[in-house]
Chain A
Amino acid sequence: MDGQDKVEVSRRTLLGAAAFAGVFGAVLASVPAQAEEAGVTTGPAPDLSALPRKRVELLKPPFVHPHEQIATVGPQVVEFQLVIEEKQLVIDEYGTTVPAMTFNGSVPGPLMVVHQDDYVELTLVNPDTNTMQHNIDFHAATGALGGGGLTLINPGEQVKLRFKATRPGVFVYHCAPGGPMIPWHVVSGMNGAIMVLPRDGLKDGAGKPLKYDYVYYVGEQDFYVPKDADGNFKTYESAGDGYADMLEVMKTLTPTHEVFNGAVGALTGENAMTANVGETVLIVHSQANRDTRPHLIGGHGDHVWATGKFNNPPQIDLETWHIPGGCAGAALYTFLQPGVYAYVNHNLIEAVELGATAHFKVGGEWNDDLMTQVQAPTPIDG
């Protein structure tokens, strides 16, 4: 087979890798072969000791850690850490709480950014203050249930997984500890996204480079909070206490809350996202469980990868785009007019009644050519 050469190289280099790998070597050896666009490579992982390493501190969404849009160096190993936290989260302005499960304490978990052909090296930590087993399934990764098969850990344990980011795009990651635990952990908040940028940055359909001034990460979450006989939302001391009740609500497929970034109003008011006229914003939007249809009220999607994969040409001039459940999408927009914009799930019942609304505050000069109020409201003539 045509991978023969590479197998040889890999075997040689594995010796070097084993010298420093320690515990981590066990993971290396068990990582299955991965396909590459340039040709199929099989066998053990190559020697990565020559690759530069970079440790990245993750930020709480909607913010995203600093990164290059166009890679100025070759592939590297990018180290991230996610600490799992089971915690009570207030999800609306009435103080409704859910016993949530989170990556790094936030819903969604933080957005990671790497470039194609980088290696993502994740340390997943499950502190002994938690009560459950958790793991992580990266939709960007290949094999072993997206890594889920190699990362299931008990409270008090940690694990390190490395995968090669072979396909550019935005991808969901989520906890998937098996059986009915899977949807339950996901709708309890255990999901996030990773962005794998093409090494030479984003491009439109004609190959023209596209750049952004800011990137915001919006994670949409459906919550299924049980109610008592009086119709009030119930609270539970721990996630486990609420499991049976919540499963019943989940099976109705009707969420009680559909929110951005963990709570009604998490991206409005003082937490509204900001930009200025003339600036370009990349909005990464994930929904790990349920379909959504983002829409920017008063604006558009200039270039949209609705299903989030950058090797497909972006659609242009969109009004609303569809992101299927279990997927992340990306939309690029240059603001042309100042004011307040609502960014919603344009099932408006979900936006208004269930919470799926964010706001952008945009500064700058009003453009009368684009819009003007010719006559203010006035009593009807005659």
Chain B
Amino acid sequence: MTHTVAHQDKTALLVPIVLLAGLLATIAMQTGAIRPPVVTTSSLAPVTVTIAPRAYSYRAPGEFVRGTATVDGPLVTVDNPAPIEIMKYQVSASDYDRCVAYGACKKAEPRRRGLIDVPVTGVSFNDANEYAKWLSEKTGQTWRLPTIGEWAFAAGSKARDHALDIETKDPAERWLAFYEREAKLGANALATPSPIGTFGENEYGVVDLAETVWEWTATCGSRTTLGQADETLTYLDSCGVRLLEGRHRTPMNAFVRDAQGGGCTIGAPPDNLGFRLVREREWWRAPLDYAVGLLTKATSN
């Protein structure tokens, strides 16, 4: 893969210099010498944070069943993820309105508009995708919703594990535990969206995670049947349903803009639906990282 980079540029001397500069910056970032860079390439391009590779784990998305018992999904561990570049802030109501004004996005339907500049709420998965498409066209970059895994990677300590650690044939037991946990998470939350930045940043500089605005992810709803040795017996996804992340993870129909407050469904529905996007990495980033990896190894020996 590194060869691709070399062949791109015939002015051979320049390549190592450019690479070296990039390497130094990346190494500095990874070793924590400087904060992750904030990238602003045009007035439309959002402020982003690059999440440096680290081993992390997250609860596998979707529902899992063993026999007739609903069980926790397995813990997925990722040892060496690629870095991702993700919006520092949730997409704001004013940014979203620009897409609406342009005619590329449908009007958001917030149940309750907060004051000053708040995250956009009252948007469906479909709306979020339209916005990503529009932003990509406008910036010449590729923007998309993160997957559940990418969200957990960026959310770090703000990502919550949803395991209940209850496996029983009694359907009520898990149900009650789930209900009580959600009730606690939802308690005393005032659902009106707060101005962007209200809740501060996590250890990677990502702001307002897991508070009053839930975030759409690209990950489809699914059900997996596990065997006794945790092997997958059946798997069926259902992409009309997408997963939301936030104070708790929850599946939602892709067209829903408002998850409802006073619902009679058991459990606490998300307060508000919004999103943030990741920027797809340029084709040459992966080989560059590989080179960085080799060099880091070489210099540390």
A residues whose Cβ falls under 8 Å from a Cβ of B: 92-95, 232, 259, 264-265, 268-270, 272, 297, 337-340, 342, 344, 348, 351-357, 359, 361-366, 368, 372-379
Which of B31-39, B198-206, B262-270 forms contacts with chain A?
Answer: B262-270
Whether the pair B262, A357 counts as a contact (CB closer than 8 A) is yes
Closest 7 CB pairs of A and B: A269-B183, A339-B172, A338-B172, A355-B262, A366-B170, A264-B262, A94-B112
Residues of chain B within 8 A (CB-CB) of A342 are 264, 266
- Of all chain A residues, the one with the shortest Cβ separation from B67 is A376
| Given A92-B262, A95-B192, A379:B234 Cβ within 8 A | yes
The interface size of chain B toward A, counting residues with CB under 8 Å, comes to 39
Residue pair A337, B172 in contact (C-beta under 8 Å): yes
Task: Point out which of B69, B171, B234 has the most chain A C-beta atoms below 10 A from its C-beta.
Answer: B171
Chain A residues whose CB sits within 8 angstroms of the CB of B260 once the complex forms: 352-353
Q: Is the beta-carbon distance between B175 and A340 smaller than 8 angstroms?
A: yes
A340 and B176 in contact, given A93-B271, A373-B171 (Cβ under 8 angstroms): yes
Q: Is the CB of B183 within 8 A of A268?
A: yes
Q: A93-B190, A376-B67 given as contacts; is B112 within 8 A of A357 (CB)? A: no
Closest chain-A Cβ to B187's Cβ sits at a distance in Å of 5
**Distance (Å) between the CB of B27 and the closest chain A CB?**
47
With contact pairs A352-B260, A365-B170, A373-B171 given, residues A93 and B187 touching in the complex (Cβ less than 8 Å): no
Most-contacted residue by chain A among B65, B170, B262, B268 (CB, 10 A): B262
Contacts of A259 in B (CB 8 A): 262
Contacts known (A95-B192, A363-B176, A379-B234); A297 close to B262, Cβ less than 8 A: no
Tell me the minimal C-beta distance from A338 to chain B in angstroms.
Answer: 4
What sequence of 0s and 1s flags, for each residue 252-292 of chain B, a beta carbon within 8 Å of any chain A beta carbon? 00000000111111101001000000000000000000000
Decide if B264 touches A93 in the complex (CB within 8 Å): no
A-B contact pairs, 16 of them (CB 8 A): A94-B111, A259-B262, A264-B261, A269-B187, A272-B179, A272-B183, A340-B176, A342-B264, A348-B264, A359-B266, A366-B173, A372-B68, A373-B68, A376-B67, A378-B65, A379-B234
State in angstroms the CA–CA spacing of A377 and B235 once bound together: 11
Cβ A376 vs Cβ B264 within 8 A: no
Contacts of B111 in A (CB 8 A): 94
Closest to A230 in B: B113
- Contacts A338-B173, A340-B179, A365-B170 given; indicate if A297 touches B65 (C-beta within 8 A): no
Selected from A270, A339, A340, A376, the residue in CB contact (under 8 A) with B184 is A270
Shortest CB-to-CB span from A154 to chain B, Å, is 36
Q: In whole angstroms, what is the CA distance A359 to B268 when docked? A: 12
Partner of B189, one of A93, A232, A272: A93
Cα distance A379–B261 when bound, in Å? 32
Cβ of A382 to closest chain B Cβ, rounded Å: 13
Contact between B176 and A338, CB atoms less than 8 A apart: yes
Report yes or no: A357 in contact with B264, Cβ–Cβ below 8 A: yes
Segment 98-118 of B: residues with Cβ below 8 Å from A? 111-113
The chain B residue with its CB closest to the CB of A259 is B262
What per-residue 1/0 map shows which CB atoms of B30-66 lie under 8 Å from chain A? 0000000000000000000000000000000000010
Question: CA separation between A363 and B170, bound complex, in Å?
Answer: 11
In Å, the complex CA distance between A216 and B179 comes to: 20
Chain B residues whose CB sits within 8 angstroms of the CB of A340 once the complex forms: 172, 175-176, 179, 266
Q: Are A366 and B261 in contact (CB under 8 A)?
A: no
Tell me if B162 counts as interface (CB < 8 A to partner A).
no
A123–chain B nearest beta-carbon distance, Å: 34
Distance of A353 Cα from B70 Cα, bound (Å): 29
Asked if B182 CB lies within 8 Å of chain A CBs, one says yes
B176 x A94 contact (CB < 8 A): no
Show the binding face of B for A, using Cβ within 8 Å: 65, 67-70, 111-113, 169-173, 175-176, 179-180, 182-184, 186-187, 189-192, 223, 225, 234, 236, 260-266, 268, 271
> Please, how many angstroms separate the alpha-carbon atoms of A356 and B266 in the complex?
14
- In the complex, which residues of chain B have a beta carbon less than 8 angstroms from the beta carbon of A366? 169-173
A375 vs B69: C-alpha distance in the bound complex, in angstroms? 10
Nearest CB in chain B: distance from A255 CB, A: 12
Of B112, B113, B172, B179, the most chain A CB neighbours within 10 A belong to B172
- By a CB distance below 8 angstroms, the chain A residues around B189 are 93
Instruction: Give the interface centre of B65, B192, B234, B266 by most chain A CB atoms within 10 Å.
Output: B266
Q: Which of B171, B234, B261 contacts A93 (CB 8 A)?
A: B261
Question: How many angstroms from the CA of A342 to the CA of B264 in the assembled complex?
Answer: 7
Q: From A354, which residue of chain B is reached at the shortest CB distance? A: B262
Excluding A94-B112, A94-B191, A376-B65, 13 further A-B contacts by CB distance (< 8 Å) are: A93-B190, A269-B182, A270-B184, A272-B183, A340-B172, A351-B262, A351-B264, A359-B266, A361-B179, A366-B170, A373-B171, A376-B68, A376-B69
**Chain A residues whose CB sits within 8 angstroms of the CB of B271 once the complex forms:** 93
B261's nearest neighbour on chain A, judged by CB, is A93
Residue of A nearest to B63 (CB): A377
Q: Cα distance A357–B173 when bound, in Å?
A: 22
Whether B113 contacts A232 by the Cβ 8 Å rule is yes
Residue among A93, A232, A359 with max Cβ neighbours from chain B (10 Å): A93
Q: Is the CB of A265 within 8 A of B223?
A: no
Docked-complex contact B262 and A353, CB < 8 angstroms: yes
Which residue in B170, B264, B268 is a CB contact (below 8 Å) of A269? B268
When the two chains form their complex, are residues B112 and A95 in contact, meaning their CB atoms are under 8 A apart? yes
Chain A proximity of B99: nearest CB distance (Å)? 21
**Residue of A344, A368, A375 touching B264 (CB-CB under 8 A):** A344
Are B262 and A352 touching (Cβ within 8 A)? yes
**Of A339, A375, A378, which is in contact with the most chain B CB atoms at under 10 Å from its CB?**
A339
Chain B minimum-CB-distance residue to A346: B264
Residue of A with least CB distance to B178: A340
Tell whether, in the assembled complex, residue B264 and residue A297 are in contact, meaning their CB atoms are under 8 Å apart: yes
Bound complex: CA A355 to CA B70 (Å): 29
CB-CB nearest in chain B for A271: B183
Q: Which residues of A contact B67 (CB under 8 A)?
A: 376
In the complex, which of the residues B170, B182, B234 contacts A378, with contact meaning CB atoms closer than 8 Å? B234
